[in-house]
Amino acid sequence: MTLQLLRSASEASSLFDTHALQARQTERIQIDVSRSTAQLAEAIKQMTASTHEEMRKINETATTLKISLSETSDLRTPSEFMSGGLRALFSFSRDFDALTTPHSFDLHPIVQLSLLFFRLLVFLMRGLLSSPTIMFILFCTFAIRMIIHRIFVPTAIDPRTTARTSTFQMFDASGASVPFRASRFEDSGALADVKNTR
């Protein structure tokens, strides 16, 4: 009887230890789940803040571009229109630099590469348009090229409207040869008449 009681007490003790271990594991799992939930909530909070910031930048860029375009549409002279357009381009490219920095959100590598090339193109166009000297040099180069092309490049000649000429030898009264330049006629009879006059 005493052995049975000892055996039962031992089984109860081992069962209690097993339940205690399971309880500790369950508590540990609950702690991990609560920690993961807190991290997920923080990540969602940061993502929401980043999304709001990006939307604010997009709205500011759209507002700036709209104001610049409305100011440009009220301009009368071409120089004022061009300056307004350049201001709109500069403001848009300046705000676009802030929009295309992928530090706050992950993008596909192809999208990042496309944005990089677009930023380089915007930077190049901004550098070209911001320098009056470079713009003047480009304009002069284009004008000189057009002038040279118009002067030195021959135009196409229609052979049907061009008189083809050949040289015949004629003799004066003293017997000296005199060069005579006559048109080459397609009619063989007319050519024979010219030859017979020699």
Spans of all domains in the chain: 9-103, 107-154
Per-range mean pLDDT, top range of 98-107, 126-135, 146-155: 146-155
Higher pLDDT, 15 or 109: 15
Cβ(57)–Cβ(101) below 8 Å? no
Average pLDDT, the chain: 66
pLDDT single digits (tens) 17-56: 888 888 888 999 999 888 888 888 888 888 888 777 877 7
Predicted confidence band of residue 185 (pLDDT cuts 50, 70, 90): very low
Q: 2-73 vs 78-99: helix axis angle to the nearest 10? A: 170
Predicted confidence band of residue 182 (pLDDT cuts 50, 70, 90): very low
Q: What is the DSSP string of 14-33?
A: HHHHHHHHHHHHHHHHHHHH
Query: Is the overall model pTM greater than 0.85, yes or no?
Result: no
At 177, phi and psi to the nearest 5?
A: -80, 135
Percentage of residues in the chain with pLDDT exceeding 90? 1
pLDDT (average), residues 189-194: 47
Residue 156 Cα distances to 54, 149, 160, 162, 172, angstroms: 58, 13, 12, 12, 40
Is 60 a residue whose pLDDT tops 60?
yes
How far apart are alpha carbons 60 and 14 in whole angstroms? 68
How far apart are alpha carbons 58 and 53 in whole angstroms? 9
